[in-house]
Structure 1
């Protein structure tokens, strides 16, 4: 009894190496690696924090690389700690772990650390939005709230290339089947061959957000994924009037340890008091408008007819060529990346920034 009592007060410090106890495949090129402290110490951290591992890399200078991974485990289960890692084509450390890491091997680790956590949040309603392996901190936070017996109110959105590439899908569905408060929404780019998909398909956008979480304005938002994905999420939220002080993000490529390390989000947010000027080149008309006015609204006010349909960036009817200047466009799938690179915009969901010239 005394030994158990003493153990309960021993907290793992990163001066002690970690010992791998299991390697569990998740999806292709992805696995969950679970570690324990050889001394039997317990792990104390906040859900959503990360760990930095020192990984063998014989081809690299010094023979090791340091890689940072968000913890997918929950501090409510303190006897072990788990990272879930996906190897990209250029991966060195994760590739080595997938090919070589076995139970019994020991690693030096630094941490846990990081600011991306809801541990101190007073919010009652959450919106977790992630892409790919950005799901890991969301899993940690959700599991912790589940284990603590909290009254869950979470809309959990994860975006993946295919249904078979949704990490933790079965585990999340099992949790959701036992509570009304975990609302799962998966978005995929394309279905798996010979396996019908009846859920959301395409790129995450404002329209999907409104369908998946109609009360998004009331929720605290946590987002993790590649920067282009998080930019799209921020654009969607800010364009719908969300209070961005209630938005939190962590790139799985660059987690931060302190407030000073937080990257500045220099997002373009159109404002009523910022003025813009649109020259409709073909007709010679000019419109002086607020940045919050769309190109379509400005054209109509100038007596010009740009064909339109949905007015929400879905149908693509209002596609026009931008020949100069910048616009802030938040569309819902009605225009391709190739068209955007060629200079086309959707007039219905494009706000002019400064001086803009449109071929109308």
Structure 2
């Protein structure tokens, strides 16, 4: 299908999440890993900062699943937007994408969101550490720097089970061959039988860190991967005296180190022994709950479906308009200050104080 292209005579508009995305290519990257490239059917451009994510609405087995994926493409290439997904054992959403999402199909998505980005922490030196599909935000940030033509000093560390599991290896090697400022370091747990491996082997540790980036104390660190991996990285850095205010991580799973820390509304602390009432204006439903219950949990208890993704204030999928009342909301960056000023809240991390009315 031919995609309309912006011309000098056409006003260029930016995709804002209201228009469906059209899948244009599916590229295998590694075993059970593929990149899905989307375009706007009307030719809208994509504006975001590298490291942000999308929440896709996937029609799986008669229901809608909301799945959050970091954008793997760069905003320096605004005609398309891509996510790279890995199907984990037992996964439904990513398995459906790999088996059923084909070029020409259209799906809904939220607009790009998230605060995990090198744009928010400009530095002369970076250390990107990732494992598995956690490489995607690092790929976006590095591609942005590469396209800019003046990349920062980046030590790029990626860990994988074996060499064939390294995602984007050829593209990263191409960028590193053009700019010596991009220093690649791959770590694998085991080797492939017919492919000799001469790089780092084993589990990422403090010794490897010191060999890969001797000046790690001077670098801004970005980390993404499974929570046990990120915990090991945090402990390694902290044990070496790293200033953890220069450490940033992306995760769509809650962790003790990344608890919600941005209170945005309400000075009253919810009390589990105090009742509250939530009015869902659009549905005409009123539900009584405890002040410690979230708006999302209360909606589900009332038989209502508010779209949600991460459920702890990162992805922004459950953003709804508060009509009246007070909530206690503590989020992890999934909503902007402008949205809050306009009366929006995140249902997954907002708790009603007294009577609250929302548009849902």
Counterpart among 47, 57, 60 of residue 44 in structure 1: 47
Q: Kindly report which structure 2 residues correspond to 1:78-157, keeping only aligned pairs within 5 A, or say none.
A: 78-157=78-157
Question: Paired residue for 1:224?
Answer: 224
Per-residue deviation, residues 244-277 of structure 1 (Å, max 9, x unmatched): 00000012556724894339xxxxxxxxxxxxxx
4+ residue runs of structure 1 moved beyond 6 angstroms? Answer: none
Q: What is aligned with 1:167?
A: 167
Asked if the contact 1:128/1:154 (under 8 Å) is kept, the reply is yes
Query: Measured at CA, do residues 105 and 211 of structure 1 come closer, stay the same or move farther in structure 2, by a change above 3 Å?
Result: same
Q: 1:133 to 1:6 in 2, by over 3 A?
A: farther
TM-score (norm 1): 0.69
In 2: Cα distance, 1:156 partner to 1:252 partner: 22
Would you say the 8 A contact 2:185–2:212 is kept in 1? yes
Number of the residue aligned with 2:24: 21
- 2-structure distance, mates of 1:6, 1:91: 45
Instruction: Give the corresponding residue for 1:204.
Output: 204
CA contact (8 A) 1:134 1:252 kept: no
Alpha carbons of structure 1 residues 7 and 126: separation in structure 2 relative to 1, 3 Å: farther
How many residue pairs align between the two structures?
A: 259
Aligned to 2:64: 64
- 2:269 corresponds in structure 1 to none
Matched residue, 1:183: 183
Q: CA deviation at 1:194?
A: 3.0
Does the C-alpha gap of structure 1 residues 157 and 109 become closer, same or farther in structure 2, counting only changes over 3 Å?
same
Runs (5+) with no aligned partner, structure 1: 264-360
**Are the equivalent residues in 2 in contact too, given 1:7–1:41 (CA < 8 A)?**
no
Aligned to 1:273: none
Q: CA deviation at 1:150?
A: 1.9
- The equivalent of 1:10 in structure 2 is 13
TM-score normalized by structure 2?
Answer: 0.69
In 1, the alpha carbon distance for the partners of 2:244 and 2:7 equals 46
1:4 aligned counterpart, secondary structure: coil
Tell me, in whole angstroms, the C-alpha distance in 2 between the residues paired with 1:110 and 1:97: 17
* Aligned partner of residue 79 in structure 2, secondary structure: coil
Residue 152 of structure 1 deviates from its aligned partner by 2.8
SS of 2:7's partner is: helix
| Bigger Rg, structure 1 or 2 | 1
Per-residue deviation, 1:218: 0.4
1:39, 1:92 → 2: CA distance? 30
2:331 corresponds in structure 1 to 261
Report which stretch shifted further, 114-123 or 84-93: 114-123
* Residue aligning to 1:236: 236
Deviations 1:126-155 (A, max 9, x none): 000000000000000000111112243100
Once the two structures are superposed, what CA deviation does each residue of 1:54-78 show, in whole Å capped at 9, x if it has no partner? 111115xxx1111010000000100
SS in 1 for 2:30: coil
Paired residue for 1:344? none
Q: Secondary structure of 2:109's partner?
A: strand
The answer (yes or no) to whether the contact 1:125–1:219 under 8 Å persists in 2 is yes
Shift in Å at residue 6 of structure 1? 5.9
Question: Where in structure 2 are there 5+ consecutive unaligned residues?
Answer: 1-5, 255-309, 317-328, 334-360
CA distance in 1, matches of 2:64, 2:182: 40
CA shift for structure 1 position 91: 1.0
Cα distance in 2 between the residues matched to 1:193 and 1:218: 38
